[in-house]
């Protein structure tokens, strides 16, 4: 590639529960792959350590090879464990496969094993692998609560063995998942859980009169990592101001910062995307219209040709297509998604929801909506996960809707823009850092979408009406807006540099050891 190499290469190992595209549930998987690729292309050494989930499609791994067989501790036993090496979309990955039932099942999460204990095992098995193979990264980069026990294990055990020079950095992608567990469970990975049960360490102090038996792996990881990153500057501010972890983050303020996620532009590129019926780019956005027509046809929505007569009568030529691609959880603003589904059609538009619910009540709720609307010609509610369809929908869409209640960073709005879909978002977290309202005169240079603040239907309504009227007003002006959002650089080129700076800072200067705590 033509990326300039950094002069001082760092050796980074990511330890993570997700990696796109082989083990992706949400944005975490995208971020790990994108950041790893950006650092590799700048000349750093990067590996990803991932549980070898049974559901990982092996045909998507190149050069898969068993590299080590070793034992790792769990609950009084040493579990025979295999480490495999392979390339996933050109990135070196080490897959950890215990011989017990951990990570078996049809999906990344929700298997019939104890998830918390499986990730405790995984955290130790990664360090154990480094120990037995003599692997000495400069940086161990952790993600989310799943890897939260690793810093505890590192300072408590492995730095007394052979892993002495590592520095640990934690990226928190979502503060709502804090890895609640008991002291007992922590004991199972070989630590003495009770030593962490204080307010300034890992005790889960969400409520006054908290249960001293409860710990939070995320909190432990915040306290015991050399550096803590979350995925947007606005989310840093929000998390310092509210939520039960605020006091912990304030105590650790000097090592806490926000770095916006980038997009993996080799996976998300409308000019080369293999999932699209035709490719397009800023210079030649015609293909986008073909994608829209193809998706409308494919899903059985009315196309602009069939509508043209009716529309001409009403004085309208074009039908705005809104897509919403999301996990269906409360965080994502379920009631607003609900409302948008009926309101978009009333306003003369079309909407496609691609979403997977993990909660059966939410699933039933949207199933009911689907049965009520999917036979019509303007609404499709698709309740499953599909990478291929998601690419086609971003390419087809005029708007991408992200009405989240909170959103640490959010990728959908950035992907949408790269594919020429103008974002309609709620002003929170990373959405507030990446989308600026078209009608905000103070932001006119950055203006790239539509932003609302309230969590009520009225707020969304107002923004939908504004967006649709801009869209319908003036075709040429709209085409310019589409070009403008497509040209914004959301690639990791922009932000990976901030992580590399951080790697270098903690690698050289940080002196924290367990005894500082």
Residues near ligand ADP, by CB under 6 A:
26-28, 30, 325-327, 354-356, 385-387, 390, 409-412, 415
Identify which of residues 326 and 491 has a Cβ nearer to ligand ADP in the complex. 326
220 and 202 in contact (C-beta within 8 Å)?
yes
Q: DSSP letter string over 45-68?
A: EEEEEEE--TTS-GGGEEEEEEEE
H helices of 271-374, in order, are: 286-299, 304-314, 334-346, 360-373
Shortest spacing between CB 430 and ligand ADP, in angstroms: 8
Identify which of residues 26 and 105 has a Cβ nearer to ligand ADP in the complex. 26
Q: Which residue in the block uniquely carries the two structure tokens 């590299």?
A: 67
Shortest spacing between CB 325 and ligand ADP, in angstroms: 5
Q: Which two tokens stand for residue 447?
A: 């203006």
Order of strands, sheet of 167-172, starting from the edge strand that comes earlier in the sequence? 61-74, 77-88, 91-98, 45-51, 11-15, 139-143, 167-172, 227-230, 256-258
Shortest spacing between CB 121 and ligand ADP, in angstroms: 24
What is the distance between the alpha carbons of residues 133 and 147, in angstroms, rounded to a whole number?
Answer: 20
Shortest spacing between CB 384 and ligand ADP, in angstroms: 6
Identify which of residues 249 and 412 has a Cβ nearer to ligand ADP in the complex. 412
Shortest spacing between CB 356 and ligand ADP, in angstroms: 4
Shortest spacing between CB 199 and ligand ADP, in angstroms: 29
Identify which of residues 157 and 263 has a Cβ nearer to ligand ADP in the complex. 263
Pick left, alpha or beta for residue 258 (phi over 0 → left; psi -120 to 50 → alpha; otherwise beta). Answer: beta
Query: What size, in residues, is the chain?
Result: 517
Half-sphere exposure of 444 (CA within 13 A, CB side): 2
Helix/strand/coil percentages in the chain, nearest 5: 40, 20, 35
Nearest of 40, 47, 146 to residue 92 by alpha carbon: 47
Identify which of residues 352 and 506 has a Cβ nearer to ligand ADP in the complex. 352
What is the distance between the alpha carbons of residues 416 and 171, in angstroms, rounded to a whole number?
Answer: 24
Shortest spacing between CB 411 and ligand ADP, in angstroms: 4
Q: Which residue in the block uniquely carries the two structure tokens 């082989």?
A: 22
* Ramachandran angles phi, psi of 439, nearest 5°: -100, 10
Identify which of residues 353 and 467 has a Cβ nearer to ligand ADP in the complex. 353
Identify which of residues 56 and 191 has a Cβ nearer to ligand ADP in the complex. 56
Half-sphere exposure of 380 (CA within 13 A, CB side): 19
Q: DSSP letter string over 127-150?
A: HHHHHHHT---SEEEEETGGGTHH
Shortest spacing between CB 4 and ligand ADP, in angstroms: 28
Can you give the C-alpha Rg of the chain in angstroms?
Answer: 24
Nearest of 149, 145, 77 to residue 120 by alpha carbon: 149
Identify which of residues 159 and 386 has a Cβ nearer to ligand ADP in the complex. 386
Shortest spacing between CB 180 and ligand ADP, in angstroms: 19
Shortest spacing between CB 26 and ligand ADP, in angstroms: 3
What is the distance between the alpha carbons of residues 71 and 66, in angstroms, rounded to a whole number?
Answer: 15
Q: Is 451 helix (H, G, I), strand (E, B) or coil?
A: strand
Q: Is the dihedral of CA 288, 289, 290, 291 positive or negative?
A: positive
Identify which of residues 411 and 506 has a Cβ nearer to ligand ADP in the complex. 411
Shortest spacing between CB 305 and ligand ADP, in angstroms: 28
Shortest spacing between CB 408 and ligand ADP, in angstroms: 7
CB-nearest residue to ligand ADP: 27
Q: Is 195 helix (H, G, I), strand (E, B) or coil?
A: helix
Identify which of residues 203 and 431 has a Cβ nearer to ligand ADP in the complex. 431
Identify which of residues 188 and 356 has a Cβ nearer to ligand ADP in the complex. 356
């Amino acid at each position: 590639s033509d990326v300039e190499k950094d002069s001082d290469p760092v050796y980074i190992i990511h330890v993570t529960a997700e990696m796109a595209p082989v083990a992706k549930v949400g944005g975490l998987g995208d971020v790990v792959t994108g950041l790893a690729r950006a650092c590799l292309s700048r000349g750093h050494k990067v590996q990803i350590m991932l549980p070898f989930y049974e559901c990982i499609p092996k045909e998507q791994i190149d050069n898969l090879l068993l590299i080590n067989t070793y034992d790792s501790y769990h609950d009084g036993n040493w579990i025979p464990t295999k480490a495999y090496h392979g390339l996933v979309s050109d990135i070196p990955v080490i897959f950890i496969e215990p011989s017990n039932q951990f990570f078996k099942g049809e999906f990344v999460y929700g298997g019939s094993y104890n998830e918390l204990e499986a990730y405790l095992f995984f955290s130790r098995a990664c360090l154990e692998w480094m120990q037995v193979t003599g692997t000495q990264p400069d940086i161990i980069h952790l993600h989310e609560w799943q890897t939260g026990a690793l810093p505890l294990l590192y300072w408590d055990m492995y730095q007394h063995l052979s892993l002495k020079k590592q520095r640990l950095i934690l990226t928190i992608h979502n503060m709502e998942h804090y890895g609640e567990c008991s002291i007992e469970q922590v004991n199972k990975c070989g630590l003495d859980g009770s030593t962490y049960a204080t307010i300034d360490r890992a005790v889960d102090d969400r409520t006054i009169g908290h249960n001293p038996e409860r710990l939070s792996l995320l909190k432990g990881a915040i306290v015991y990592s050399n550096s803590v990153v979350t995925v947007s500057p606005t989310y840093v501010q929000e998390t310092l101001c509210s939520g039960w972890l605020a006091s912990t983050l304030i105590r650790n303020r000097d090592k806490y910062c926000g770095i916006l996620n980038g997009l993996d532009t080799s996976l998300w590129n409308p000019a080369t995307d293999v999932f699209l019926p035709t490719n397009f780019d800023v210079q030649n956005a015609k293909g986008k219209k073909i994608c829209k027509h193809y998706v409308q046809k494919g899903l059985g929505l009315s196309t602009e040709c069939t509508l043209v007569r009716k529309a001409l009568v009403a004085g309208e030529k074009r039908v705005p297509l809104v897509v919403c691609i999301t996990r269906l959880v409360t965080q994502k603003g379920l009631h607003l998604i609900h409302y948008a589904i009926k309101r978009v059609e009333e306003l003369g538009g079309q909407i496609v929801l691609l979403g997977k619910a993990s909660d059966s009540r939410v699933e039933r709720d949207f199933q009911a909506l689907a049965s009520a609307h999917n036979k019509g010609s303007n609404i499709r509610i698709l309740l499953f996960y599909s990478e291929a369809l998601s690419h086609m929908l971003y390419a087809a869409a005029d708007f991408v809707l992200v009405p989240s209640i909170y959103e640490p960073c959010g990728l959908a709005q950035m992907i949408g823009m790269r594919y020429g879909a103008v974002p309609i978002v709620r002003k929170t977290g990373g959405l507030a850092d990446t989308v600026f309202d078209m009608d905000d005169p103070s932001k006119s240079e950055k203006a790239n979408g539509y932003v609302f603040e309230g969590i009520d239907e009225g707020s969304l309504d107002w923004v939908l009406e504004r967006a649709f009227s801009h869209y319908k007003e003036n075709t040429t002006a709209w085409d310019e807006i589409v070009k403008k959002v497509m040209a914004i650089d959301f690639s990791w080129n922009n932000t990976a540099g901030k992580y590399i700076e951080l790697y270098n800072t903690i690698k050289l200067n940080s002196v924290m050891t367990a005894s500082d705590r």
